[in-house]
Amino acid sequence: MLLEVSGVSVTFDGFRAINNLSFQIASAELRAVIGPNGAGKTTMMDIITGKTRPDTGKITYGRPGKNLLKMSESAIARIGIGRKFQRPTVFENQSVFDNLVMALKKNRSPLDVAFYRRSQEDIKKVEDLAAEIGLTEQLHRMSGELSHGQKQWLEIGMLLAQDPKLLLVDEPAAGMTPEEREKTTDILRKAAKTRAVVVVEHDMEFVRRLNCRVTVLHEGSVLAEGSIDHVTKDQSVIDVYLGR
C-alpha cells in the first residue's frame, strides 16, 4: 500500500468532521471519493497534505512507511504528494509551455533556476506532458486564452511535472462541458497507471466513467467501498447520498 489512513479523527469546535476514518490506497490506483456535502472529503485531503492535523490516528505513506503526521506541509509535498484544488491557478499571462517549464523547475535549487537553460531534455519533457494532457496544439498559446477545461488540464500537467506518487484531485469535472469531462477521465485514468490518483467528485456519471474503486464518505467515516455498481446498490449509500 502507498497510503494507509487508520483511525483518524478530527474535531472542529467540538464537531467531529472526521470520525475514526480508515482507508488504503495502492501505489498505482485510481480511486474516487464521493459523499454528501459535509461528509469530510475536503478535510480528508487537508489531513493527508498536512494542512489539518488530526486529533488521533495514523497515516503512513510509502515504503518504508513514513509517518505523515510528523511532517510539515512542504515536506509532504516534497515526498511526492500533489494536490489539485478546484480552481485552476495557472499563470494566465504565460504560455502553456512556460507554465509547464516552471512546474518542472519547481523542485530545483535556486542556483539551478538561476543558471537554467532550456535543455533539450526539458523541452522533451514539456512536450510529453502536453501530449499527456491533450494540449500539444496549445503549447505556445497564452494560458489565459484557454478554455476552463484546458486550464484544468494544464494544472494537472503542472502537477504531473513534479512527478507525484500520489495525486489528490478536487472536483475536476466542475464547470466542464461533457466533452471536457470525457477527456478529463482519460487524463486521470492514464495518470493513475504510474501513480496513485484520488479524485473527489460529485458527478456520478464522471465517477462511473473513471471505472475505479469508489469510497463513499459519510459523517467523516467510510460508509461503503467497492466498485461503482457495488456502492450505488448499497442501501445506506442510496439513503444518505444517491437517493436525495
Ligand X SMILES: Nc1ncnc2c1ncn2[C@@H]1O[C@H](COP(=O)(O)OP(=O)(O)OP(=O)(O)O)[C@@H](O)[C@H]1O
Binding site for ligand X (CB under 6 A): 12-13, 15, 17, 35, 37-43
Identity of the residue, 35 or 82, whose beta carbon is nearer to ligand X in the bound complex: 35
Identity of the residue, 21 or 101, whose beta carbon is nearer to ligand X in the bound complex: 21
Q: Are 112 and 69 in contact (CB under 8 A)?
A: no
Q: How far is the CB of 65 from ligand X (least distance, A)?
A: 25
Identity of the residue, 42 or 94, whose beta carbon is nearer to ligand X in the bound complex: 42
Q: How far is the CB of 198 from ligand X (least distance, A)?
A: 13
Identity of the residue, 158 or 217, whose beta carbon is nearer to ligand X in the bound complex: 217
Identity of the residue, 4 or 203, whose beta carbon is nearer to ligand X in the bound complex: 203
Q: Which residue, 227, 231, 163, 220, is CA-closest to 191? A: 163
Q: Are 188 and 210 in contact (CB under 8 A)?
A: yes
Identity of the residue, 73 or 132, whose beta carbon is nearer to ligand X in the bound complex: 73
Identity of the residue, 38 or 134, whose beta carbon is nearer to ligand X in the bound complex: 38
Q: Which residue, 190, 197, 143, 204, is CA-closest to 170? A: 197
Q: How far is the CB of 35 from ligand X (least distance, A)?
A: 6
Q: How far is the CB of 4 from ligand X (least distance, A)?
A: 20
DSSP string, the chain: --EEEEEEEEEETTEEEEEEEEEEE-TT-EEEEE--TTSSHHHHHHHHTTSS--SEEEEEETTTTEEGGGS-HHHHHHTTEEEE-SS----TTSBHHHHHHHHHHTTS-HHHHHT----HHHHHHHHHHHHHTT-GGGTTSBGGGS-HHHHHHHHHHHHHTT--SEEEEE-TTTT--HHHHHHHHHHHHHHTTSSEEEEE---HHHHHHH-SEEEEEETTEEEEEE-HHHHHH-HHHIIIIIT-
Which grid cell sits at 61?
505513506
Q: How far is the CB of 108 from ligand X (least distance, A)?
A: 34
Q: How far is the CB of 18 from ligand X (least distance, A)?
A: 8
Q: How far is the CB of 56 from ligand X (least distance, A)?
A: 16
